[in-house]
Every structure is written in structure tokens, then in C-alpha cells.
Chains A and B, each alone.
Chain A
């Protein structure tokens, strides 16, 4: 939602983040009930290990979904996160494995590449004034293509240079993504709701003409959003390759649709001006739970894509209904 300053329990309930959390809770409750085992075998779904697994799996999507949510709130859309993830991962892999650079340099190189991709999207949208769909579609192709060119079809084996039991910043490697996600979610949620910049993003998404007439720096704010989104995607891609150990050009193929769907389920409206960073993160968890639980239902293995699609439609329809009723 746009920053609402209503006080009281009613207003809190009405915020989109809370209702998304509610949907998540209902979903977890449903699968807990549905997958309840006979006798007293341990619950295959509702246990700590599984929960952590879902969190770790969803975190990579979640980091990029933060950026997607911000872009959508600004009235645009970003189709490039998957490609940028792959490109940055591949650049990091190349610098680390091929050129033998220290990990820090390799990571920095990957991030710089991501920022360049973001800058390209930004220039295409604000200066060349391409529709964001087309601009980011182009960047997606360029980034993915560059990744393939860099790897020449092979892959970089980062695990060969990373010692087993490696603990980045003292954290176990597989916890890196969720912790980064948590930190970044807080940072960007605060930026969106506690700073003029964030309010400008909502304003531009809600009515770009009025934003221009109000003296907001529309071009600059829009550009910054695409750069942030690419930065987040690139960070996610770098974590992916360093933790999983393989830098391949076909990583994260198709991730962008899941990432956008997560943001939309979390409250972002593709017409702009509405949405939430925290909501997008919760959205990735909603899909994470679905992808984790469905294969555990006998006969449902092939249904997960279908159900994901249905969930997106249902949630958007309910959203429209609520907005129309309240408006």
C-alpha cells in the first residue's frame, strides 16, 4: 500500500502486509492439516527443518523480489532479474575461478556488472523513454547473452576454490541468503515508507504527470529504482553461485515471472502506486511453501505450475475486490 498513516488496530489490519501474512498463515495451516501423517510419524511439512529449507530456498527469489516490488510501485516493470542474476554470478565466477582474483574482488566485479545492467535499464526507461516492459526485456536478452558469451557454454566451478565449511562473515554459508534477505527487506521497507524518496516512488507510480507537475525529480527517482532492482538481483545471483558453487549462464532462467508474481501477490499493482517490500518477501514465502508442499502430495507433482498460476489470479482478484469496495 501507499504509506497510510491511519492509527489503530483497524488500519493495521487493513494494511496489505498483514493480509498477505494472513494468507501465508492460512496456507501453512492448510498444508499442515492436509499432510497430517497417520500414526505418529513426524510431520513431513510442518517441522523446523522443512521451514528452514523453505526459507533458504525462497530467500534468493526474495532478495530480487524487493527490487521488483519497488519497480512495480514506481509504475514500471522489470523483466531482467533472472538474467542479471546469471550475469553477475557468471562474472563473479569468471573473476574468481578463471582470473584467480580474491573472492572480494570477484564479488565486487559481479556487483558492478549488475549495476551496469541496471543503469542500462534506467537510461532506456528515463532518457530514451522506452516502455519499461520493452526496455527490461531488451536488457534481459543482453544480460543473458553476455553471460553466455562469458562462459562460452561452460561453467565455472567456484566450489573448487572455496574451502568446505566456509563461513562468510562468520555465518554458515547456507544461511547467507536468508540473513541478507532479512537485512535488505528491513532497509528497503524503511526507505520506502520512511523517506521522501520512497514517497516519491509511490507518487510517481500513482500519477506520473502530477509528480512532474509537483516538482519531483521523476527521472532520477525512476532511474534509481531500476538500478536498485538490478543491484538486488545481482547480489542474489552472486550469493547463488558462491553458495551453490557453480557459475552457469543458464542460472535463474524464468525466475523473473516468479519474482514479479511474488511482488504482485504481496500487494504490488502493475498499474503502479501500490505495493510493499515486506509484502513481496511474504509473497515469495507463499510460493516457496507451495513449491515445497505440493510435491509431497501424491499425484500433485505436475500441478504446481498450474496452482501457482491460479493463486496469482485469485489473490489479484480478491485484491481488486477489496480496493473497489473500499474506494
Chain B
């Protein structure tokens, strides 16, 4: 049986030891999962395999022969394809152009053979059951279709090893099932799959073996039928995590902190009404595209609603900009921390203090005081970083997210809006972020959490409001909520609810 063997792979980036003597093997034709917290080294290891990063030491062999991977091109030429979590497609080009980008079929004088490329694309997409036309412009495709297109691109050229890095982050349940069906078919054809994911359930569904990494080291390789999710999580984290903590009792019936009535902004959401009380965590659940982010952004003053009222502690409010929202005591932890939440040209300390200091109306920068405050924040929220003077790009996803949350908590808001707070965050940090949210609620803050992660919503929220296509489908209190009941509302046909 041929193997892909990792032998003693070691890689350091400056002082950070990303990989330490990692050794294990992957059987040909199997689906092999790679799990671990952020910073565990799994992304780095896959980048070594994809030719993006050269290891300092160690060797890769495939079928007994060493793999020499100078560049991503070299890896592609040897049949190693990678599908990234972020969409690395060209939105302005068509499906065909994307699939053949960099490897176009050309005739004499380098002229493009468009017809042949289109035909091959159609055949490939058909084969993989991807419902996309070869001429479709990628920007017009949904997240799921783009993800499938990325896989098609990786498979277009005799791919023997396919690496998938968190491919289901932007996919719904149905789309994930479709993806898995495609992956099953690939397995049947003998393609070796390396599946990097945080989602333990998926890993158990798809993969025959699971390799766990922690702190750059190989912790163990387990056979799926002979292990359990708990054992995997324990190996990943090095400790036992409690399952979803029992939810603390909800607040009494004081006047609601936030009252939204009939808020409309077409085409994103219509006639949305909900309330959040002080000390309450309200989960806003819905599938991708249900208008939840736009709703939060409208509440925060980034956009104006067409209709409806928003009341804070009984007072009607209409924010013309986030400046006013912050002054009224709101905070928004945005969905895309890179684009909307962090400043990579400033140090961690500046990132942590910016909104709070700005909201407090301070004029001068007091270096010593700020250093103290940011050190405090880093300690309190357990943010792992090499000091607060570095820019945030060296932090893991989970710690970056903690920076974004900490910066808002420093501004002492009364209402915290969270948009997918644990997206792209490893399981340890996820648990810590949930804990942070619960503690804030206990201290009297109202929290509105948008999430498409059903277990997360069930674990956190006192009440769940379900949105579908911009309309409220219903509200369930924590006591009565089950995965089924919530999902039913989220996928309900309008008029039947």
C-alpha cells in the first residue's frame, strides 16, 4: 500500500516554532483528517505539502520516493492540489478561466484554445455534479458554488492528493452534504484526501483516520471507528473541556435594553422585531443569506433603515453613524475581523485601546498608562501574543478575535452585538469566547449574538430568534430549543410557520 509519509518535518518562523519534528503517514486513497487548535501547526504543515513553505528539516515521501516541492507550481505538477478556506478565485473571470488560470490550453503562438477549455470545464463540472455553467462569472456564484469550483480547479489536472483547508466554513448543511458526496466519489476514485477542520462531527463523518496536532507537534493518529470526539478534543486541547455549560438563569422582566420594532431595509431584512434585556443573551440564528449581518450593521449605525424603530432603554434612537452608536453604549464585534476589526499597521496595544479611548473622549495618548491598560486586557482575556508592541498579524485567529472582543469590552458597552464571534476560531478559544460572553451577560450587559453554528447558539443563548431570508420566523426560549425545532424554523417555507 503506498503512503504519503511526513518525516521529521520542522519549520520555524523566526522565534516561532511552527512545526517540531512532525512524523506520520497517510494511506493512499484514504480521507485523513488533520485537527488541532489554531497555532497547532496544521495549516503550516499543509503549506509545506502544497509547496508554499519549505521546511527547515525533514522529508516528504510519496510511494517511497522523496517529494521535492520548491513552489506551489511544483506541488501542482506532482498532483498535489489545495483548496483554501478563503476563496482564492478570480471574481471577475468565468468558471472556465478560473479553472485553467495559469495552466491554459494554448495553440500555436500561444493563442488560447477557448473552446477546448470550455468543453473540458463542462465535463469536469458535470463529473463532479457541480451545478455551475462554464461561462458563469465567479462573482455571481454563491459561496457554496465557489467552494465547489475551487475543488474542481484543484482536481482539473490529475490530482492525486487533495488538501482541503476548512472547506465548509461558508457552507450550509445542505451544501456541506453535497460537498461530502463529491468527496466520497473522489475517494472511490483513489484520490487521497487531507481534511483540515475544526468541526469534529464532519471529521468523524468523512475520514478514516484522524491526526491530532498540538503546539507544532504530532500528538497522535487515531482510527475513527476506534475513537470518540471526546478523546480527539482532549488530545487537541490537552485537557478536558466541559460540554456546553449549563445556561445561567435569564434576567427578570425589567424594561428591555433594546427594542426593535418592524425594522426594514430591503432587500436584506423586513419587519424584524425583537428585544434584548440587560443580562440576556439573545441568539440570532439563520442560514447564510438571511440578512443577519446587515441587521446588526444597521443597528450599529452603518446603514439607515427604511422603516421601523429602535429603542434603547425606552428611548427611540436613530444612529447616523457608528460614532453615535458607540456613544450610546453599543459595540459590534464584526464578522470579518481582518477587514473590519483589526489594524495591521498598528500594534496590539493600539488595537485594544482605540475604540475605548476614542469613546472616552480622551485627547492625548499617554504611553505609560496605555501600556498598563493593554497589559491588563491581555492578561484578563488570556490573549496569547508576543507582547503588546507587535502588530496583530502574528496572532492566531482565535487570539485576534479575542483582541477584537477585548477592545470593545474596554469601551464598556451596555449592548454587545456579535457577528459570528467564533468563525475560524479553534475550539479552545471558542470555549473561552463563549465564557467571556456569558460573564458579560452575568454582569448585566445585553448580548445579541448572530451565529450560523447551531450548537453554539443553543449553548449560549437564553432565547433564540430565527431569521430566514430577512424575516423573523419565530422565537424559541432556551428551555424549549432543540436543534430540530430551530432548524425547522430556519428552513420553513414562508406562510407555513
Contacts and interface: CB of A to CB of B under 8 A. Distances in A.
Interface in B294-342: 300, 302, 321-323, 325-327, 332, 334, 339-342
Interface stretch (B233-241, B278-286, B349-357): B349-357
A2 interface: yes
A6 B363 contact: no
A202 B370 CA distance: 17
Contact of B364 (A5, A195, A200): A195
B344 A206 contact: yes
Interface residues of B, number: 39
Contact of A215 (B323, B341, B364): B323
B354 A5 contact: no
Which of A4, A215, A274, A327 has the largest number of chain B CB atoms within 10 A?
A: A215
A123 interface: no
A196 B363 contact: yes
Contact of B340 (A4, A195, A210, A215): A210
A326 to B, nearest CB: 9
A35 to B, nearest CB: 40
B340 A196 contact: no
A200 B358 contact: yes
B239 to A, nearest CB: 33
A129 interface: no
Nearest to B330: A215
A214 B365 contact: no
B347 A2 contact: yes
A212 B321 CA distance: 8
Chain A interface residue number, banded: 20 to 34
B343 interface: yes
Interface in A179-235: 193-200, 202-203, 205-207, 209-217
Contacts of A327: 391, 393
B302 A4 contact: no
B343 to A, nearest CB: 5
A172 interface: no
Contacts of A5: 347, 349, 367, 370-371, 388-389
B365 A207 contact: no
A2 B365 contact: no
A100 interface: no
Interface in B255-292: none
Contact of A203 (B343, B371, B388): B343
Contact of A213 (B302, B345, B346, B391): B302
A3 interface: yes
A39 B300 CA distance: 75
A196 B332 CA distance: 21
Interface in A146-168: none
Contact of A216 (B323, B327, B344, B391): B323
B355 A2 contact: no
B359 interface: yes
Contact of A2 (B332, B346, B370): B346
B345 A210 contact: no
A196 B393 contact: no
Contacts of A193: 365
Interface in A285-323: none
Contact of A217 (B323, B339, B393): B323
A322 to B, nearest CB: 14
B365 A215 contact: no
Contacts of B111: none
A273 interface: yes
Contacts of B355: 214-216
B344 A207 contact: yes
Contact of B345 (A197, A198, A200, A205): A205
Contacts of B345: 2, 202, 205-207, 272-274
A254 B120 CA distance: 55
Contacts of B359: 215
7 contacts: A2-B345, A194-B364, A195-B364, A210-B340, A210-B342, A213-B341, A215-B325
Interface of A: 2-6, 11, 193-200, 202-203, 205-207, 209-217, 272-274, 327
Given A199-B350, A213-B340, A214-B358, 18 more contacts: A2-B345, A2-B346, A2-B350, A3-B346, A4-B347, A4-B389, A5-B367, A5-B388, A195-B363, A199-B346, A207-B343, A207-B344, A212-B322, A213-B334, A215-B327, A215-B359, A216-B323, A272-B345
> Which 7 pairs, one residue from A and one from B, show the smallest C-beta to C-beta distance?
A273-B345, A206-B345, A215-B326, A214-B355, A6-B389, A206-B343, A215-B322
